[in-house]
Structure 1
């Protein structure tokens, strides 16, 4: 599949445009505690020239007890203004894991009616190809961003429970198979193990080729179809806390799927409440 500034672009595509005045590159690296990595320190040590660092927690809803929930529109606009990212910019998002947290920030851009792309293979591929890195921070000037929120791209627990009961949408879980089955404990304390009734399991890592780039065409579609997902029907994605679910949304967008949303609370919410039914196995 070709480069698409609304979904995924290659390292070559980005390298050819680094000097463009309308390009904005965002380092959205974020890691789970067991990854033992510091995204702030890694950015300071070396990042793609011109990249601005975006802390995922800083662009989340601080009022929620759930991890990194989508922020109010005003907060998203405020954080983008501080990064100098606004209307008319071509936005490319990457992270230090390959394609991980960058997809979540891509989804936030879509949620607020803005276009952005994820760098295919992320910083690991950029480094592997010997492309330039810098420790210099870019000069940032405020830029206004106009948002047009798309609530249809996000689902809450009530909507997900209804979809699970009535079968109006397929729930697709991005967690690894042991966690989905309930064989492995959840990393967050106090959560039950298992999955939403009727959910399909498409572990996000199955969407990548060996070099960390996203699969294409029939190979990408096959990852969903093999899990029993009907690509002609609506999809609600889920995961542990709404981060890797966005990788599924990115893949669905690449496949031209038009009706997919993300369960923002994901298992951090569903697994918390004993009155919500779970399945195991």
Structure 2
């Protein structure tokens, strides 16, 4: 595998910093709601957007903007599909984008990562929507119809293309995993709950076995967030956590989860921790466990503790 290319690490904004950005920015600031729920939760982010949102926000549907030809959920779209989605939202490359999700820090990091992959120039993430509400900032609760929520003025968005060497494919990861000595040259971190990593709890998708990759490290994504507020922990706490888990910052890091969503929570947390350097960014296995569990050999699916 090639080392990933150099990209900038985007900023995480407190609610107060987000409000300051709205005042100080020299370019339009567009909030992007990326709310998404696991299929067993029974909630719909798009429907909730019609009921409540940050003023001026637009909804980016990670269930729709993807590689529709893939059997695996949330695989990155082609540049053409991404450009159309951004154009349909009326976004230009001059706009400053601030992503958020209603759960706190769950699916917004996935959109943040996607925007980085497609090289949008100015992107931030709100840390986070529940805290924004709690601190009394403005919320738009006007009920919208789907027609009212549509963006009347479309744009022509043209990404320079995806940074493909930050995206790990099944073939890439299999090449790492099949040779024990080679895989020890990488950190493979898994954001799923620990009980799914051990194989003790089922996956939320029926028929999919749980377990983990050989020599992977379990770091459930909620461990990088404060328990009460769901904010990202401080840089020092995050660094302490990752090092205690056995992450070696001198080795390339591959993040994964169930479908490539909460892996991006770990990717964002590593950026804040200072362990992710601009010249060595974290790579994300896009298909994640859903793809691996369906395609790999049984001997490459491990259960129990290591």
TM-score category of the 2 structures, normalised to the smaller one = over 0.9
**Equivalent residues of 1:86, 1:146 under 8 A apart:** no
Flag structure 1 segments of 5+ consecutive residues without an equivalent: none
Match of 2:176 among 163, 175, 178: 163
What is aligned with 1:8? Answer: 12
Residues 1:141 and 1:274: Cα distance change in structure 2 (over 3 Å): closer
Match of 1:106 in 2: 112
Normalising by structure 1, we get a TM-score of 0.92
Please list every run of 5 or more consecutive structure 2 residues that lacks an aligned counterpart in the other structure: 1-7
* Cα deviation digits, residues 126-175 of structure 1 (max 9, x gap): 11111111136576441433323211110011211222231232110000
* Paired position in structure 2 for 1:213: 231
**What SS class does the counterpart of residue 57 from structure 1 fall into?**
coil
Question: How far apart are residue 59 of structure 1 and its match?
Answer: 0.9
Give 1:203's aligned residue: 220
TM superposition shift of 1:14: 1.4
Partner of 2:302: 279
C-alpha contact 1:197 1:279 (8 A) present in aligned 2: yes
Structure-1 residue corresponding to 2:254: 236
Aligned to 1:142: 155
Residues 1:187 and 2:199 aligned together: no
TM-score by length of 2: 0.85
Matched residue SS, 2:30:
strand
Quote the residue 2:286 is aligned against.
264
Match of 2:90 in 1: 84
* CA RMSD in angstroms, aligned pairs only: 1.9
SS at match of 2:22: coil
Secondary structure at the aligned position of 1:33 is classed as coil
Aligned to 1:120: 127
Counterparts of 2:103 and 2:220 in 1: how far apart (Å)?
A: 16
SS at match of 1:219: helix
Q: Which stretch has the larger CA shift, 38-47 or 93-102?
A: 38-47
| Preserved contact between residue 212 and residue 303 of structure 2 (Cα < 8 Å) | yes
Q: Is the 1:27–1:93 Cα contact (8 Å) retained in structure 2? A: yes
- Name the structure 2 match of 1:174: 191
CA distance in 2, matches of 1:8, 1:208: 13
Q: CA deviation at 1:235?
A: 0.3
Cα distance between partner residues in 1 of 2:159 and 2:197: 38
2:51 pairs, out of 36, 42, 45, with: 45
List, as ranges, runs of 4+ consecutive aligned residues in structure 1 with deviation greater than 6 Å: none
